[in-house]
Amino acid sequence: MSYQGKKNIPKITSDRLLIKGGRVVNDDQSFYADIYMEDGLIKQIGDNLIVPGGVKTIEANGKMVIPGGIDIHTHFQMPYRGTTTVDDFFLGSKAALAGGTTMIVDHVIPDPGSSLVEAFDRWRDWADEKACCDYTLHVDITHWSDSVKQEVETLIKEKGVNSFQVYMAYKDLYQMTNSELYEIFTFLGERGAIVQVHAENGEIIAEEQARMLEMGITGPEGHVLSRPEELEAEAVFRAVTIASQTNCPLYVTKVMSKSAADIISQARKKGNVVFGEPITASLGTDGTHYWSKNWAKAASFVTSPPLSPDPTTPDYLNTLLSSGDLNVTGSAHCTFSVAQKAIGKDDFTQIPEGVNGVEERMSLIWDKAVVTGKMDENMFVAVTSTNAAKILNLYPRKGRIAVGSDSDLVIWDTDGVRTITAKTHNSAAEYNIFEGMELRGAPLVVICQGKIVLEEGNLHATSGSGRFIPCSPYPDFAYKRVKARKQVTKILRAVPRGMYDGPVSDFLPMSRGGGSSARTSPTKQTPIRNLHHSGFSLAGSPTQRGVVCPRVSIHVVVLPPELIFLV
């Protein structure tokens, strides 16, 4: 496949692998076949393959062979108030590989006012140096201006970024107004990018936070009390509305609550192009822990939107994931140490936000959804890998076991059981929010870029071996429908009517700024001068073209003459 040509990385060319006797599971079907890989690519799939001699052979013994997972949402090495998250790109991507994830998508968060491209380059430097698996980047739009527009354009055209996140929360920092959101959605919709939203109503959160602090609630429970799930649902609803108005595909990051998920599935039923991403945390645990007596434990669950205190949430989200109402899973892995979390020990609004989950993601979904019979193995592949690849426009290079695809594969052990604990996890965090959970289903062998990185419990990750994978705009998965709709809406036309030539009432002129449309009269107008503007002479035709400027008619008509308009 031609898209692969330029990307041959010399250092892995020697790897030749044959997986024998596995059951290949893609998102659409499962079948028994052998897989032969060379140069980091899948070269042959089938029975009785003819392969060169001396190839390393792995006996799968009938176990599932699935495309490596894609974690579509991580925050490795994220700077935060002069510190960074404890898992950098090395530790983070190592943890990913240990869990069967062979590609991660990290968020670039430029500081408001700074350059997006510079931030992107900085993130790339960090990741190129340390990542042990392939990666790509989302860029967050933290402010909006004409120069940002140009940078976004550059990122799409030259840098291989096709997804951008905007924030509806974090008032006075990242938060965008509805008008800005409308402009951004329009802009990105015209350029084939995916709009991701952090959906929470930041204005109400700010009010609620102030109220909580006033009530003397300063611990982590204040976090969830000030961010109730309806604020998440509200923002999702609003984002869906804006996306539908601007005909732009929408991606909701971190679906944390039942009501937010419901809004997404309702919108999908109405035909909106919207994708929802629950994360490991919301699929695996709930927000009751915010009330833990152990401050450090409670604080380790702090993330936004918060985990819902409703203990039935994980089950519900797993169900929606199984039915296809939610599409992809991320981890939003963003780990802080206890000492870092303690920045907010006296004020919950200061607690750095983020939970772990990159390593646990695939096992957790297997355990909660596949083992319980909600989901089949093909859907499992879809939500952990294939759908993400489609949204990122990397399919079928990633997210599928097919000839020509990257050889990112996992041999999945459906019966392997492991207990999650901070003592053995690969993250540097002292806490694991899934502590003590027994999960069924684990990777047995992980192959990344054609190399075995996990075998018999041993992880061989090489810092810096991860490649940046550029994403191109207009992913079919999101944009096919959008393009078709654009064609349809072009038909919008004015009704051809004769000029209205009847009488026009006398009225006060409205001072309107530059063609903007609402009935705006910023200056207060006293409606007293309702007399005949006898002194007011209309100097010919209105001077400004284009600017909508109501003309003042001089004639007050009391009784309209013989109205001919009745139909």
Question: Looking at this protein, which amino acid is placed at residue 134?
Answer: D
Determine the size of the site formed for another protein (CB under 8 A). 128
Q: How many CB atoms lie within 10 A of CB 411?
A: 24
The single residue among 52, 53, 146, 293 that binds another protein, judged by CB under 8 A, is: 293
Nearest distance from residue 199's CB to another protein, in Å? 12
> Under a CB-based contact definition with an 8 Å cutoff, are residues 255 and 326 in contact?
yes
Residue 269 binds to another protein (criterion: CB under 8 A): no
Judged by CB under 8 A, does residue 265 bind another protein? no
DSSP string, 114-172: S-HHHHHHHHHHHHHHH-SSEEEEEEE--S--HHHHHHHHHIIIII---EEEEES-STT
Instruction: Please select the residue that binds another protein; options are 1, 9, 538, 548, rule is CB under 8 A.
Output: 548
User: To the nearest 10°, the Cα dihedral for 118, 120, 125, 130?
Assistant: 150
Nearest to 399 by CA among 9, 22, 42, 18: 42
- The answer to whether 252 contacts another protein (rule: CB under 8 A) is no
For 242, the 3-state DSSP assignment is helix
Both tokens assigned to 265: 């599935």
Does 540 bind another protein (CB under 8 A)? Our answer is: no
Q: Is 515 in the site for another protein (CB under 8 A)?
A: yes
Report the C-alpha gap between 5 and 8 in whole angstroms.
6
Among residues 206 and 403, whose Cβ is nearest to another protein? Answer: 206
β-partners of residue 20 are 59
Contact with another protein (CB under 8 A): which of 40, 228, 305, 443? 228
415 binds another protein (CB under 8 A): no
Among 14, 419, 505, 511, binds another protein (CB under 8 A): 505
Q: Are strands 101-108 and 16-25 parallel, antiparallel or unpaired?
A: unpaired
* 58: Cα separation from own chain's centroid: 36
Q: Does 80 bind another protein (CB under 8 A)?
A: yes
- Figure out which of the listed residues 222, 249, 314, 443 binds another protein, where binding follows CB under 8 A: 222
| 218 vs 472, beta carbon nearer another protein | 218
DSSP secondary structure string for all residues of 303-344: -SSPPPS-TTHHHHHHHHHHHTSS---B--B----HHHHGGG
What would the x/- binding string for another protein be over residues 129 to 168, using CB under 8 A? ----------------------------------------
Neighbours of 343 (CB within 10 A): 16
Q: Which is nearer to another protein, 267 or 391 (CB)?
A: 267
Q: Which of 59, 415, 502, 532 binds another protein (CB under 8 A)?
A: 502
* 424 near another protein, judged by CB under 8 A: no
With contacts defined by CB under 8 A, name the span among 23-31, 93-101, 366-374, 528-536 that binds another protein. Answer: 528-536
107 forms beta bridges with 138
Q: How far is the CB of 471 from another protein (least distance, A)?
A: 24
Rounded distance between C-alpha atoms, residue 272 and residue 81, angstroms = 38
The distance of closest approach from Cβ of residue 177 to another protein in the complex, given in angstroms and rounded to an integer, is 7
Q: Which 315-344 residues touch another protein, going by CB under 8 A? A: 337-340, 342-343
- Regarding 360 and contact with another protein (CB under 8 A), the answer is no
Stretch that binds another protein, among 157-165, 248-256, 426-434, 457-465 (CB under 8 A): 426-434
User: What is the distance between the alpha carbons of residues 474 and 482, in angstroms, rounded to a whole number?
Assistant: 10
Closer residue to another protein (CB): 62 or 527: 527
Q: Does 311 bind another protein (CB under 8 A)?
A: no
- Kindly state the smallest distance separating residue 457's Cβ from another protein, in Å: 24
Least spacing, CB of residue 238 vs another protein, in Å: 6
Give the contact letters, 171-200, x = binds to another protein (CB under 8 A), - = no: xxxx--xxx--xx-----------------
- When asked if residue 403 is in the footprint of another protein (CB under 8 A), the reply is no
Taking the least distance from each CB to another protein, the nearer of 402 and 504 is 504
Angle formed at CA 463 by CA 457 and CA 466, multiple of 5 degrees:
95
- Say whether residue 353 binds another protein (CB under 8 A): yes
Which one of residues 77, 102, 196, 426 is an interface residue with another protein (CB under 8 A)? 77
Task: Give the range of 28-36, 312-320, 402-410, 488-496 binding another protein by CB under 8 A.
Answer: 488-496
Q: Quick one: which of 58, 64, 105, 204 contacts another protein (CB under 8 A)? A: 204
Q: Does 297 bind another protein (CB under 8 A)?
A: yes
Q: Which stretch binds another protein (CB under 8 A): 28-36, 305-313, 480-488, 497-505?
A: 497-505
Say how far apart CA 138 and CA 116 lie, in whole Å. Answer: 11
Look at residue 417 and give its three-state secondary structure: strand
Given the rule CB under 8 A, which of 8-16, 153-161, 469-477, 512-520 is the region that contacts another protein?
Answer: 512-520
62 — alpha (psi -120 to 50), left (phi > 0) or beta? left
Residue 208 interacting with another protein (CB under 8 A): yes
Binding another protein (rule: CB under 8 A), the pick from 46, 112, 271, 464 is: 112
Contact call for residues 61 and 39 (beta carbons, < 8 A): no
Two tokens at 150? Answer: 């140009």
Give me the amino acid identity at 82. Answer: G
Burial 527-539, CB ≥16 within 10 A → b, else e:
eeeeeebeeeeee
Using the rule CB under 8 A, which residue among 96, 109, 137, 442 binds another protein? 109
Among 221, 325, 359, 413, binds another protein (CB under 8 A): 221
Of the pair 1, 215, the CB lying nearest another protein is at: 215
545 binds another protein (CB under 8 A): no
Q: How far apart are CA 38 and CA 18, in angstroms?
A: 9
Q: Which two tokens stand for residue 13?
A: 């060319």
- Under the binding rule (CB under 8 A), the answer on residue 256 touching another protein is no
Residue 407, burial from CB neighbour count under 10 angstroms (0-12, 13-18, 19+): buried
How many CA atoms lie less than 13 Å away from 463 in the CB half-sphere? 9
